Amino acid sequence: MASRAALQSAKRFSTQVPRSKLRIGLIPADGIGREVIPAARTAIEALGSDIPKPEFTNLLAGFELFTRGGVALPEETVEALRESDCALFGSVSSPSKKVTGYSSPIVALRKILDLYANIRPVVSVADAPGEKSSVDLIVVRENTECLYVKQENLEFTENGKEARATRLITERASHRIGRMAFELALNRPRKHVTIIHKSNVLSVTDGLFRETVRAVPSTANGRYDGVTIAEQLVDSAVYRLFREPHIYDVMVAPNLYGDIISDAAAALVGSLGLVPSVNAGDNFVMGEPVHGSAPDIAGQGIANPIASIRSAALMLRHLGYHQPADRIDKAVDEVLREGQLLTPDLGGKSSTQEVTDAIVKRI
C-alpha cells in the first residue's frame, strides 16, 4: 500500500511544464486492465481544477487484440503516445508458450519510449495518519535490457533440444538506472541504496551492473555523498525481504530480478492489487499497476482498482503535481484504514466500482 511519503520521492527530474490540458493516453489492454484503468481515470477526473483539464485518449494494445488482428501494438497507439503528456497502461495477457509473431506490447513500449526505469514503491498503510509504515521501500527495476531483450533460439542436437537466451547488460543502462535510484534515495529519509545482483555466479553481466551502479556517485560531483550503499545477492535479498523488510530503502536491480523482487514484496502489504508503478524515462512517464491481467476474475467486477489509482497518483507526482497526487493517496489510505470496503484479494466482498466510488468520494 503505497504511502504519500514514499511516492513523493518518485518524481521526474525536470520541472513541471505549464499546461492548459493534460493529455493522457489510456491503454487498458487485456483482462482486468479494462476494469481498473477506468477507475484510475475517474480518480483523476475527481481532482477537478487542481490539475490541468485532463484530455483522455483510449488506445489499443494487448494479446487479445493480437488474436483478433495479428498486431499487439498498433502504430497508431505509439504515435498517439508520442503526442501525449503521460499514459496509463492496464495489464497484458502474454502467453507462457511461444506464439509466432507476438511480442509483449508493454515490453515494446518501454523500449520505444525509452522508459528505462520501472519504479515500484511497496509501502504499508500505517494504523493511523502520521505513524510510520512497517514496510516502506522502492524497487527500481532497469526496464530495457537483461533477458527482456528476448533473443532466444532453439536448437536440435544429438542430446535433444537446447534452448539459449541472450542476456544483455550495458554500462549505459546500468549507469542511468543507478542514477535514478540515487536520485530517489536523495528524497527519502534514510537515503540508502541496495544494489541487487548475482555476480558471484554471473561475474561478467551482473558484475558490470554492480560495478557501474556503485560508481554512480563518483561521477556526480558529491551530489550523492549523503547516500549510503549496500549490496545483496538476489536470492538472499528475497529471503531478507520477508524476514527483515525494514533493512531496505531503495533497491536497484536488473530487469528480471527487479520484476521478481517487486512482485514478492507485494506479499508484504497484502496483495498485488495494491502495488503501483511508473515506467519512467527522461521525457515521458506511464503509470502501470504491478499486477497482471488476472483472467480468472476478469469481467466479474471484483478486481482491486487501488494499484491503478495509486499508479495514476504516482504518474501525476512524477509530472510535478504533488498536491493532487497527495489527495488521491490520502483518499486511498482512508478507505484501506477503515477496512469496510475491500475487494476479495484483501478478504473483502466489495466490487471494483464500490471501492472506486469510496475513493472518489474522499478525493
> Which one is catalytic: 85, 116, 148, 333?
148
φ/ψ (deg, to 5) at 70? 80, 5
* E-state strands within 92-181: 117-123, 136-142, 146-157, 160-168
Marked catalytic residue, from 50, 114, 191, 263: 263
Q: Is 285 exposed, middle or buried (0-12, 13-18, 19+ CB in 10 A)?
A: buried
| Catalytic residue of the set 21, 132, 150, 235 | 235
Q: Give yes or no: 263 in active site.
A: yes
Write phi, then psi, for 287 (nearest 5 degrees): -75, 145
Return the ∠ at Cα 4 (arms to 290 and 351), rounded to 5°: 50
Residue type, 134: S
Among candidates 320, 357, 328, 316, which has minimal Cα distance to 340?
A: 357
d(CA 273, CA 308): 8
The catalytic residue among 259, 329, 333, 345 is 259
Burial class (CB in 10 A: 0-12, 13-18, 19+), 264: middle
Cell representation of residue 224? 550523492
For the question of residue 249 being annotated catalytic, the response is: no
Sequence length of the chain is 363
Q: Which of 11, 198, 333, 345 is catalytic?
A: 198
* 333 flagged as catalytic: no
The H-or-E segment that residue 278 falls in is strand 278-280
Look up 21 and say whether it is catalytic.
no
- Which H or E element spans position 89? strand 86-91
Handedness of CA 214, 216, 222, 226 (dihedral sign): negative
How does DSSP assign 178-208, residue by residue?
A: HHHHHHHHHTSSS-EEEEEE-TTT-TTHHHH
259 among known catalytic residues? yes
Q: What is the set of active-site residues?
A: 148, 198, 235, 259, 263
